[in-house]
Structure 1
């Protein structure tokens, strides 16, 4: 009897761990896109979809612009669904989720910053502030000239490198190089004294 109970427990445990992940939307709904069908069929993508649902709900709770965030999310879903055009739709969807989760985690400070630093740029006249977040893809929130840019960590041979839409930040041994805007010349920034 004891052996039978142990075997039954092991079977139940295996069945639970092998249970497929399900996304935040019903997989049996009519009219699913090809990408939504792919998400339903791929446990990793289904798990990322569920994670994004939780992160998005937390961002909505933190947001002061309740009408803008849903519009951006609808735009993101449209972009995610365009992954059918990619040579690697599954990889495209995976990176789309990872980027969106990381963006929301940092933008709405759903995670505490792991570090922050202040610099003076362009001969010491212009302040630069950077906060780093341990999101799914490590991110930096960079503030300069009364504007802010969310940047994602990039591979670097040395130091830390982050890339935004038209901005980049690279730091090495207390000195930073900042490009702020399309075609802008790099600025040298030195760490501000506490």
Structure 2
């Protein structure tokens, strides 16, 4: 019998959320809502979020994480600084409307901010059944010196945010019958992350496919 590794367990949790009503409940919950009123949305990005189910769920989840972080006196940075950061983040997110790919930019913005909030606050990482995020976990990939932080957004399609050193990439789940695959492309080239059973593989531009495991934390 194959052992369920921590990495596999994280993806199983993501799959369970996507496959059951848990994810759907988060959008209809009386305590969870978008960070702005869609009926009066004026910014172009807000209008995009309101008409796109994936982005709408990401906004609802980020609002949940942000509110939890504000209650965490031990968060890094402190709640008062998180509040200031959130205002700057909102302004930066709204600028996605001016780019060539506003939705892709907005997804990256939410994925990065969710990673930051979850990384800095233990309360934000609590196992709330309505959550749409997991992580971050630390990945050790064969032949790669830096640890890779990974945060998952359990929306449809799912989103995976990876960060190492001064580099970050946001990957989107793509259809694959045999395994769970995420992909992305930027100015450096193409990225691919594959999870098959209890094995995981990451490939970045200019490198061969690397086998990855979860690094123990805590």
TM-score by length of 2: 0.46
Task: Give the Cα–Cα distance (whole angstroms) in 2 for the partners of residues 38 and 129 of structure 1.
Answer: 36
Q: Which of 65, 68, 76 is the equivalent residue of 1:55?
A: 65
String of CA shifts for 1:118-153, please: whole Å, max 9, x gaps: xxxxxxxxxx995744444344577xxxxxx79558
Q: Measured at CA, do residues 116 and 95 of structure 1 come closer, stay the same or move farther in structure 2, by a change above 3 Å?
A: closer
**Would you say the 8 A contact 2:135–2:152 is kept in 1?**
no
Kindly report which structure 2 residues correspond to 1:75-114, keeping only aligned pairs within 5 A, or say none: 75-109=88-122, 110=125, 114=137
Instruction: State the structure with more CA Rg.
Output: 1
Q: Measured at CA, do residues 38 and 115 of structure 1 come closer, stay the same or move farther in structure 2, by a change above 3 Å?
A: closer
Q: Measured at CA, do residues 152 and 94 of structure 1 come closer, stay the same or move farther in structure 2, by a change above 3 Å?
A: closer
**Would you say the 8 A contact 2:118–2:135 is kept in 1?**
no
Q: Which of 31, 43, 47 is the equivalent residue of 1:37?
A: 47
Task: Give the Cα–Cα distance (whole angstroms) in 2 for the partners of residues 107 and 129 of structure 1.
Answer: 20
Task: Give the Cα–Cα distance (whole angstroms) in 1 for the partners of residues 203 and 69 of structure 2.
Answer: 26
Q: In the comparison of the two structures, how many residue pairs are matched?
A: 137
**Would you say the 8 A contact 1:83–1:93 is kept in 2?**
yes
Task: Give the Cα–Cα distance (whole angstroms) in 2 for the partners of residues 36 and 68 of structure 1.
Answer: 24
Task: Give the Cα–Cα distance (whole angstroms) in 1 for the partners of residues 137 and 79 of structure 2.
Answer: 27
1:72 positional shift: 0.5
1:82 positional shift: 0.6
Secondary structure at the residue paired with 2:42?
coil
* Deviates further, 130-139 or 31-40: 130-139
Q: Measured at CA, do residues 108 and 141 of structure 1 come closer, stay the same or move farther in structure 2, by a change above 3 Å?
A: farther
Q: Which of 36, 52, 57 is the equivalent residue of 1:25?
A: 36
Secondary structure at the residue paired with 2:100?
coil
5+ residue gaps, structure 2, are 1-23, 126-133, 154-159, 171-183, 185-190, 194-200, 205-209, 212-218
Secondary structure at the residue paired with 1:79?
helix
Task: Give the Cα–Cα distance (whole angstroms) in 2 for the partners of residues 129 and 141 of structure 1.
Answer: 6
Task: Give the Cα–Cα distance (whole angstroms) in 2 for the partners of residues 73 and 53 of structure 1.
Answer: 10
Task: Give the Cα–Cα distance (whole angstroms) in 2 for the partners of residues 55 and 101 of structure 1.
Answer: 7
Kindly report which structure 2 residues correspond to 1:101-180, keeping only aligned pairs within 5 A, or say none: 101-109=114-122, 110=125, 114-115=137-138, 130=147, 132-136=149-153, 137-139=160-162, 155=191
5+ residue gaps, structure 1, are 1-16, 118-127, 143-148, 163-171, 174-194
Task: Give the Cα–Cα distance (whole angstroms) in 2 for the partners of residues 63 and 150 of structure 1.
Answer: 23
Alignment RMSD? 4.1
